């Protein structure tokens, strides 16, 4: 009788193990969207060749080729091969990126009675669904993704989206001929503007894409998106600029204004170039709105130019000035006696900030930043995006009918 009882207990134990394996463990189908960095900046995927330099030591403009602005005064003849000619000209400068990444998933361990009951009992089963019988256990695993990018320098420097290479442990670059892949490392990436600069190692001649002027884009202007959508290598889509200076409620916590386009941008196209009909890059394709049709967003290339020194140095922490500003309306300008063009209205100044220490006050109108007139509020935001702690900022303000110059040094904000 004792042996039978032992055998019965053993069977019961084995059945319990089987239930735990079959029902007690479940893995989340999607990675946790924490946005946190799992891969350390000390990892071998990061190229630190410029990290010992300072902003004074580099001229990031030498890293890219500017478009030929005089061409923009020429009309482009549209015919059946216009887009094909442009695509043929630039295709060798567009690359596909294949990355191996670390991602955090969640495994839930435990048994819910609803998992083992043969039938569900009203009210009781609902109660079981509410009670957290399963305990979430986070873990890190390998994942693979694809994206796009474009070459900006003959030495193999490539621009792409930060989210394409975020938490990457291995990056492979495939050129347009698709015969070989080349290793690449991250020079720097900026999660705020969703831009990244990587460098590939290869010994072949490279095609460089010139960077245009996104500020000169007009709503309704034709643009071309190129990339690797859904794994379909080197695809070309045509559309227009639907709008400029867009804030997407789903992207980057509204830190950056985007170019909105109806040129198809699908998963895998991220990081690819948005081009004007002169073959110049005017934006970096970054995202789609899943709930909508024909609405895509691109980071303006002028924003990328502003943060390029940060990408080169791998230093993307923003300097703190401590002033909140907004676009100046005609009515506000009239009330304050300002008749000039453009300008940004100061709404508030934080206590203890560099702005307060230099005497900036609410209702001041900022009309110039670092020697450049402020014709647009978004230009003001973009200029600040490219400034790190230690950078000096020179303002010209309008107050009580007079103009006045202010100078300040941005600092690291104390978040405690």
Residues 326/348, Cβ–Cβ less than 8 Å: no
From the candidates 112, 145, 148, 163, which is the catalytic residue?
163
> Does the CA dihedral 376-381-385-387 come out positive or negative?
positive
Q: For residue 310, what are the contacts with CB-CB under 8 A and spacing of at least 6?
A: 188, 190, 316, 386, 388
What are the backbone dihedrals phi and psi of residue 109, each rounded to the nearest 5 degrees, phi first? -120, 135
> Does the CA dihedral 296-299-302-305 come out positive or negative?
negative
| Whole-number Å distance between alpha carbons of 232 and 224 | 16
Using DSSP bridges, classify how beta strands 344-349 and 281-288 pair: parallel, antiparallel or unpaired.
Answer: unpaired
DSSP string, 25-72: EEE-SS--------S-TTSTTB--TTTT--GGG--GGGGS-B--GGGG
Tokens representing 413 are 């904000």
Is 115 exposed, middle or buried (CB count within 10 Å of its CB: 0-12, 13-18, 19+)? middle
Residues 164/196, Cβ–Cβ less than 8 Å: yes
Is 408 part of the annotated catalytic residue set? Answer: no
The secondary element (H helix, E strand) that includes residue 399 is: strand 392-399
From the candidates 148, 270, 353, 408, which is the catalytic residue?
270
From the candidates 194, 257, 263, 391, which is the catalytic residue?
194
Is 405 exposed, middle or buried (CB count within 10 Å of its CB: 0-12, 13-18, 19+)? exposed
Tokens representing 30 are 């999607």
| Whole-number Å distance between alpha carbons of 288 and 223 | 16
Is 145 part of the annotated catalytic residue set? Answer: no
Q: Which CA distances in Å does 211 have to 71, 290, 309, 406?
A: 13, 29, 16, 33
Closest CA to 226 of 101, 89, 100: 89
Q: For residue 284, what are the contacts with CB-CB under 8 A and spacing of at least 6?
A: 159, 160, 161, 194, 195, 271, 272, 273, 274, 298, 299, 301, 304
Q: For residue 89, what are the contacts with CB-CB under 8 A and spacing of at least 6?
A: 279
Is 270 part of the annotated catalytic residue set? Answer: yes
Tokens representing 257 are 């204004």
Q: Just list the catalytic residues.
A: 163, 194, 270
């Amino acid at each position: 009788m004792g042996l039978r009882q032992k055998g019965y207990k053993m069977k019961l134990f084995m059945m319990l193990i089987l239930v735990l394996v079959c029902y007690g463990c479940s893995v989340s189908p999607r990675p946790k969207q924490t946005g946190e960095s799992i891969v350390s900046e000390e990892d071998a995927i990061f190229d630190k060749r410029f990290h010992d330099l300072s902003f004074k030591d580099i001229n990031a403009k030498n890293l890219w080729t500017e478009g030929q602005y005089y061409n923009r005064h020429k009309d482009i003849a549209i015919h059946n091969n216009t887009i094909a000619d442009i695509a043929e000209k630039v295709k060798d400068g567009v690359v596909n990126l294949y990355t191996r990444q670390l991602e955090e998933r969640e495994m839930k361990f435990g048994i819910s009675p609803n998992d083992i009951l043969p039938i569900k009992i009203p009210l009781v089963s609902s109660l079981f669904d509410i009670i957290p019988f399963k305990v979430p256990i986070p873990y890190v695993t390998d994942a693979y993704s694809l994206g796009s990018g474009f070459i900006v320098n003959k030495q193999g420097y490539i621009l792409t989206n930060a989210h394409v290479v975020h938490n990457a442990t291995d990056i492979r670059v495939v050129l347009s001929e698709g015969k070989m892949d080349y290793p690449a490392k991250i020079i720097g990436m900026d999660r705020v503007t969703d831009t990244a600069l990587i460098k590939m190692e290869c010994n072949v001649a490279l095609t460089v894409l010139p960077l245009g002027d996104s500020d000169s884009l007009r709503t309704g202007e034709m643009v071309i998106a190129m990339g690797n959508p859904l794994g379909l290598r080197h695809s070309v889509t045509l559309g227009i600029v639907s709008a400029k200076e867009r804030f997407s409620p789903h992207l980057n916590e509204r830190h950056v204004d985007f170019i909105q386009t109806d040129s198809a941008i699908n998963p895998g196209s991220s990081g690819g170039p948005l081009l004007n009909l002169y073959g110049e890059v005017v934006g970096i394709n970054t995202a789609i709105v899943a709930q909508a049709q024909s609405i895509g967003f691109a980071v303006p290339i002028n924003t990328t130019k502003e943060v390029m020194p940060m990408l080169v140095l791998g230093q993307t922490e923003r300097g703190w000035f401590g002033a909140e500003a907004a676009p100046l309306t005609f009515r506000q300008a009239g009330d304050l006696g300002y008749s000039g063009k453009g300008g940004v209205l100061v709404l508030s100044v934080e206590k203890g900030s560099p702005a307060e220490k230099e005497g900036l006050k609410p209702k001041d109108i900022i009309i110039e930043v670092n020697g450049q007139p402020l014709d647009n509020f978004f230009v003001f935001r973009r200029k600040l995006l490219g400034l790190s702690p230690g950078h000096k900022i020179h303002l010209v303000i309008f107050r009580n009918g007079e103009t006045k110059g202010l100078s300040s040094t941005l600092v690291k904000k104390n978040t405690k």
